[in-house]
Chain A
Amino acid sequence: MMSLGSYLMVSGIIFSIGLVGVTTSRNVLKVLLSLELLLAASNLSFVAFSKFNGDYAGQLIVFFVILVAAAEVAIGLAIVVLMYRRISTISADDLKEMKW
């Protein structure tokens, strides 16, 4: 069995990759996909801590995170489709209406 530290390191690497995706990509779909990576990384560390601490609460929180992520993705993709219909692009830079 691997140590807790190696699982946390994998989770940290995935989190950083997702963070790079959120900050560098302009495509709104790609930003949503990278947000999924961030949630997946936190899920992995929750499950690892749950296993090594002997507490089921971590796995339950992962269950709730999955539910919330499903709702978030549904709303986010609806907004992306709406954005594509209104301004026929999904680049985040073209959302300038609230710029002052």
Chain B
Amino acid sequence: MSEFFFYLFAAVLILASLSVVLARNPLYNVLSLVVAIFSLSCLFVLLEAFFVGMILLLVYAGAVLVFFLFVVMCLDLKTIALTTSQQNRYGWLGWIVGLSFVSLFYLGTQSFIKAQTLGVSSIRGTIENIGQILFTDYLLPFELTSLLLLIAIFGIVSLAQGVLSSGKEVDT
């Protein structure tokens, strides 16, 4: 049963991420990334990483991609479609790089003996287990991420101030 769900969600994940790259309409790009993130979090649940899967759904599908959708709506859709339909001269080079990466990963996982023999462990990524480690061994990185988010807020505010002052034509 778990194999069936693995193949189902892996197929949905790969198809949706192909649609992220290939779809012309930027709205479809963002919405298929939502589908991809959803099936990714289903794979996380299959791996018994419940907390991370839930955070992925809440933060990614809930906040980040809605933010993306908001920006796509804010910009003029015609301009975006125009820039995406232009032919890229070096597009084939990117496809060659992608295909060689797929074959590289295939060879890597085939020759990686541990990947076939390593058995599944009994750990379960529940909130209790994750929180226990997060607030003991990994407390410093956890606090430093709050600093990172603060810096991100500063960056966005300074960018937005530039827009406001250039819009009103006032000198600072």
Contact = CB atoms under 8 A, between A and B. Distances in A.
B156 A59 contact: no
Given A30-B84, A71-B148, A13 B14 contact: yes
B103 to A, nearest CB: 9
Nearest to B133: A56
A12 B125 contact: no
A2 interface: yes
Contacts of A47: 43-44, 47, 49, 52, 125
Given A3-B115, A7-B47, A23 B123 contact: no
Interface residues of B, number: 87
A3 to B, nearest CB: 6
B75 A17 contact: no
B56 A43 contact: yes
B61 to A, nearest CB: 11
Nearest to A75: B155
Interface string A59-100: 110111011111101110111111011001111000000000
A88 B79 contact: yes
A90 B75 contact: yes
B98 A20 contact: yes
Given A10-B14, A85-B163, A16 B101 contact: yes
B55 A17 contact: no
Interface string B1-16: 0110010001001100
Nearest to B58: A66
Nearest to A92: B83
Contact of B105 (A9, A32, A52, A57): A9
Given A4-B115, A16-B98, A33 B30 contact: yes
A2 B121 contact: no
A12 B49 contact: no
Contact of A13 (B60, B105, B145): B105
A27 B26 CA distance: 9
B148 A52 contact: no
A37 B95 CA distance: 16
A59 B130 contact: yes
A27 B109 contact: no
**A-B complex: 5 closest residue pairs judged by Cβ atoms:** A12-B105, A54-B121, A23-B94, A20-B98, A24-B94
A7 to B, nearest CB: 7
B172 interface: no
A66 B118 contact: no
A26 to B, nearest CB: 6
Contacts of A60: 130, 133-134, 138
